[in-house]
Structure 1
Amino acid sequence: MAIHASDPITHAGLIEYIRKDSSLYEVDGDSIGENDVFVVSVETVEISTLEILRKLSNASIMRFLLIVESAWNVNASAAITHGVHGILRYSACSPGAFSQTLLAISGGVRPHTRAIEDMITDSGLRRSPGASGNDIRESGGVSPLVSHG
């Protein structure tokens, strides 16, 4: 797995999560392989986030886990098209949830629009109009989810 975080403190925290699970290891973003997951930490998911994912992608199949702080402002199907396979809310991210989600994604979890929509809703991220075909909903729950469907 490789990590892209906008600040060094978040990056260090995610590295610490890796160290707590012997089945996880970090690779350089340039040498990420087909079964690796690229972890990207952002404040808000928006069009510029999708551009970051596009720039981080390489010729191999790219899988992204987004660690999101506060809001989701893009369509779920656009996120899937850009390689998003999972979402964790920053405030609910723990070493166990992080490891479980990464292992599920690297093990072949295939995202679909409904699963990503459910992850966004269940995480309690704020949503902007037009971010989905559904009504904007806010949830008090912050449970990290990965769909196995």
Structure 2
Amino acid sequence: EDGYKSPPSREIYSVLATVSGPSISAWGVTPLAAHMFIFYFGVMSFLPPPVAVSSYVAAGLAKANMWKTSLLALRAAGAAFVLPFVWCYREELLLSGDPLSIAALALSVLLALRIYAAASGRMSVAFRLGHLRLAAGAGPSRLH
């Protein structure tokens, strides 16, 4: 059988849910958030080193250095590794709760992602400065 084989998500989830599920639930995380956390990080394990299967493939296709490719992929997806922690503490991100709190959290997360993009240099200078000024004013107001 030739061609692309997707990551074995079902198997990864089964192992991780069995091994780490009880300890995550012991932290007081709801079952929905705990299982999404486990599944998400199981799938994302293909991105960062030492597994880095996606980086191996991308580096091979681009004829590039695997470690540089892996570290660039990790830097580009840095915000993606924060989101599961957000939904463990604020389950509204999993669309659980009243619509107003879901909308407020979604806007806060979108603002945080824009600020992350500005701070990591993925925007033009003028756009980045505007977002960083916005972060300086709006950031402390979201702490609670």
TM-score (normalizing by structure 2): 0.29
**Greater strand share, structure number:** 1
In our comparison, the structure showing a higher alpha carbon Rg is: 2
- Greater relative contact order: 1 or 2 (C-alpha under 8 angstroms, separation 6 or more)? 1
